Amino acid sequence: MCGIVGYIGDGQAVPILLESLKMLEYRGYDSAGVTVFNEKLETYKIAGRIKNLEEIIPENVSGNIGIGHTRWATHGKPETRNAHPHTSSDISVVHNGIIENYLELKERLIDQGYEFKSDTDTEVIAHLLHSKMSCDDKICLLDGLAQTVKELDGSYAIAALSNNDPDVIAFARKDSPLVIGIGNGSNYAASDVTAFLKHTKEVIFINDNEIGLLRPDSIEIYDLEGNSVSRDTETIEWDLEAAEKAGYEHFMLKEIHEQPTSIQNTFAGKLSELEGNVTLEEIYLKPDEVKRLRRATIIACGTSWNAGILGKYLFEKLAGLHTDVETASEFRYSNPVLCGEELTIAITQSGETADTLAAVRSSASYGCRSIAITNVVGSTITRESDSVLYTRAGPEIGVAATKTFTAQLMALYMLAINLGRTRGVISANEAKDLIVGIKKLPGQIQKVLSRKEEINECAVQFADKRDYFFIGRYLNYPVALEGALKLKEISYIHAEGYAAGELKHGPLALITDETPVVAIATKGHTYEKILSNIKEVKARDATVIAVADDDDTEIDKYVDVVIRVPPTHELLSPVLSSVTLQLLSYYTAHAKGCSIDKPRNLAKSVTVE
């Protein structure tokens, strides 16, 4: 999972490439590099972040064509020799993905006399491309790349340059994201639209098994058989400000504060309070198909998997639909028992999560209908699924998911209500109550955000602790999981999330007076049970931080610190609790001086297995 960028036009390539790489650095940041055509190809690369790369590029480097890369290591240590671009004589290549048969190709290329300088799989692409072009001087860069990718097993988004074809950038894509930006007298290629959003909002999304050429004034797209492909241009609605910090110290804090808007945008135009229904025109399931559904399977990874756990509770309660939640990386290697009357729901923020995509393809082989929940229009999952329910969160730059998580929850609420009404499980009045509550959420989230100072005080008080426990029951169990994940991701504090009833089955052995326990204790039918669990940990001298309703006067008797949230419908309380725990994690990491937007060893979008 890396970020690639290409530029060709009438401007200077180096500053544009560096600027674009900074916008893509969330995709990987252990090394970076660029190649520019300056009478001949010149390559500069180094371990570390983009600022390190800026320091090694001479000021006099000039050129109007170039490619760049920011890396997250998958093959080879994060060292300069493994940084992209990778070269082979007069060829330069950047790549996002994994070449699964690289060892076989490498052995063959070594036998042909090619010398490898890195440990990466990507270097085989450069040498293989060079071998295709050198066999016949008449073979152009595009033809050479077409022959090259036919021999690659795995995933790739590639941009390539050649001294022998100096007026174009060639590109190819399979199972890794690639989007073209259309400028005025210039064109761009990148892993993400944020790379060139400052320059253009007009884009073309490249599909799997497509290749093409960029020139300053034209774009050519072909399939692997050489047939020309026509593709409509799309306009990105995000503006540049949406992809910048807007005055906040970190992207994560900015994105936490954007949640009233992102949730509002996600449900806008879909809720009918009068009819007690949610209209999802993008879901291509007929009413009789919905009624025949026997089971749903939610497939996701990481934060999206935590959202899926809540989705399970919602679908079973509101739609009467037995629901399983599967970790995508495990599902693809298991032997699932599926049939045609089942629904697969894939949740992926980027729409490019490799394991989730593979799992959806696997379920499709059983004849299951699929719905994708994603934040990225035109991403691969949108083409792999029967229907797509978009979260309208806008670009999320911070590696730790915040606004995309709550937007996913909103999508799950809407889908559960929609299915429940169609299946006759919930009445119009029951749906109305939920819809009224949903419409109040943006304002209630704003109230949570207004309490950030008291949450900060709580975070600072316990920032020196080595371990945290998060506990919740029923709907608050996935909130506990997500709260623990956020804390460990950005503060590097060991944190565990548990179903509170499981404490006595082992975890209580780890509770001491040095272990803060966060109890999600909003009102609901498990409220008395969580109070009992709080008493259990207090009996072991733990300090308890409770997330509780504003009107809860009982909780203060049993805990050390209370963080208040506005009371809401029981089913909706996880949204407000999640925002609270995001702030707790953020301010804990801030107190510890951690790299909040770019936590160590993590990247935003996991586009490789």
Query: Residue 609 above 60 pLDDT?
Result: no
The candidate with the shortest Cα–Cα distance to 387, out of 356, 345, 420, is 345
The candidate with the shortest Cα–Cα distance to 490, out of 363, 552, 401, is 401
Q: How far apart are CA 65 and CA 540, in angstroms?
A: 65
Pairing state between β 202-205 and 234-235: antiparallel
Instruction: Provide the annotated active-site residues.
Output: 2, 604
Instruction: Please tell me the least confidently modeled range out of 165-169, 221-225, 234-238, 315-319.
Output: 234-238
Q: How far apart are CA 252 and CA 444, in angstroms?
A: 20
Question: Can you tell me the mean pLDDT for 545-563?
Answer: 94
Question: Can you tell me the mean pLDDT for 297-319?
Answer: 96
Q: What is the pLDDT of residue 608?
A: 56
Instruction: Give residue 471's region: left, alpha or beta (phi > 0; psi -120 to 50).
Output: beta
Q: Residue 133 belongs to what H/E stretch?
A: helix 123-134
pLDDT in tens, 127-178: 999 999 865 555 689 999 999 999 998 889 999 999 988 899 999 999 888 9
Query: Residue 607 above 70 pLDDT?
Result: no
- The yes or no reply on domain 3-243 and CATH 3.40.630.10 is no
Pairing state between β 494-499 and 295-300: unpaired
One DSSP character per residue, 421-445 reads: HHTTSS-HHHHHHHHHHHHHHHHHH
In Å, what is the CA distance from 597 to each residue of 47, 180, 390, 452? 19, 26, 24, 18
* The residue to which tokens 């999304």 are assigned: 205
The CATH number fitting domain 245-449, selected from 3.40.190.10, 3.60.20.10, 3.40.1170.20, 3.40.50.10490: 3.40.50.10490
* The residue to which tokens 């994201």 are assigned: 177
Q: How far apart are CA 345 and CA 280, in angstroms?
A: 15
**Ranges of each domain in the chain:** 3-243, 245-449, 451-609
pLDDT in tens, 476-506: 999 999 999 999 999 999 999 999 888 778 7
Same fold? 245-449, 451-609: yes
Q: What is the pLDDT of residue 364?
A: 81
Instruction: Give the pair of three-digit tokens for residue 393.
Output: 């969160």
The candidate with the shortest Cα–Cα distance to 119, out of 152, 163, 155, 74, is 74
pLDDT in tens, 31-73: 999 999 998 999 999 999 899 999 999 988 999 999 999 997 7
**E strand spans, 39-112:** 40-47, 65-71, 86-88, 91-99
The CATH number fitting domain 451-609, selected from 3.30.450.20, 3.40.50.2000, 3.40.630.10, 3.40.50.10490: 3.40.50.10490
CB atoms < 10 A from the CB of 304, how many?
A: 25
Q: How far apart are CA 130 and CA 145, in angstroms?
A: 9
249 DSSP 8-state letter: S
Q: What's the pTM value of the predicted model, to 2 decimals?
A: 0.77
pLDDT in tens, 242-293: 666 667 889 999 999 999 999 988 998 899 888 899 999 889 899 999 999 9
The mean predicted confidence, pLDDT, of the chain is 91
